[in-house]
Amino acid sequence: MTTTPAFDEIAENLSFLDDWEDRYRYVIELGQALPPLAETERNPANKVHGCASQVWLVTEPHAVNGETVLTYRGESDALIVKGLVAILLALYSGRTPRDVAETDAIPLLDDIGLREHLSTQRSNGLAAMVKRIRSDAMAMA
């Protein structure tokens, strides 16, 4: 399964942090670095269902060298969840719809030990975000 340099950098940074409190702080910092969505983008069409927190994802297709590439933007009202959004954006943005549809983030997040330290609600919400991103990509592929 392929990843992106941005995701690989996040995974590497997480691997250097021994304490999960430090890892949580890093994930929160990733989320805080995301630009906010416009108020109009926080709408029912962009809302991710299945998350306990409020989560919105925006999918933007662009033509690059004659090929469609997807860019994702997102936001959440919960700090850790916003960080999880940032990690998913790093994994999926800049890829073709087919690449996105074929990439399941869950095993990658398990490899870096992220999901084992999430509550059941957050883990379910993360799965809902991955499902939403991949289904949007499948519709465009």
Q: What are the per-10-residue average pLDDT scores of the chain (141 residues)?
A: 90 91 95 97 95 93 93 96 97 96 94 87 94 94 78
Is residue 51 among the annotated active site residues?
Answer: yes
Going by their DSSP bridges, the two strands 67-76 and 55-64 should be labelled as antiparallel
Question: Are 65 and 106 within 8 A, CB to CB?
Answer: no
Exposure of 76 in the CB half-sphere (CA atoms within 13 A): 26
CA dist 72 and 90 (Å) reads 9
Take residue 30 and report the two structure tokens written for it. Answer: 């990733």
CA dist 77 and 7 (Å) reads 22
CA dist 44 and 66 (Å) reads 31
Cα-trace Rg, the chain: 14
Taking Cα atoms as reference points, which of 122, 121, 113, 136 lies closest to residue 45? 136
Beta bridge partners, 67, equal 64
- Give the model's pLDDT for residue 1: 64
Q: Where are the beta strands (DSSP E) in 41-141?
A: 55-64, 67-76
Measured on CA atoms in the order 113, 116, 119, 120, is the torsion positive or negative? positive
Options 30, 51, 88, 126, the catalytic residue: 51
pTM: 0.95
- Domains of the chain, CATH where assigned: 5-140 (3.90.1010.10)
- Give the model's pLDDT for residue 113: 86
CA dist 38 and 78 (Å) reads 17
Take residue 14 and report the two structure tokens written for it. Answer: 């997480």
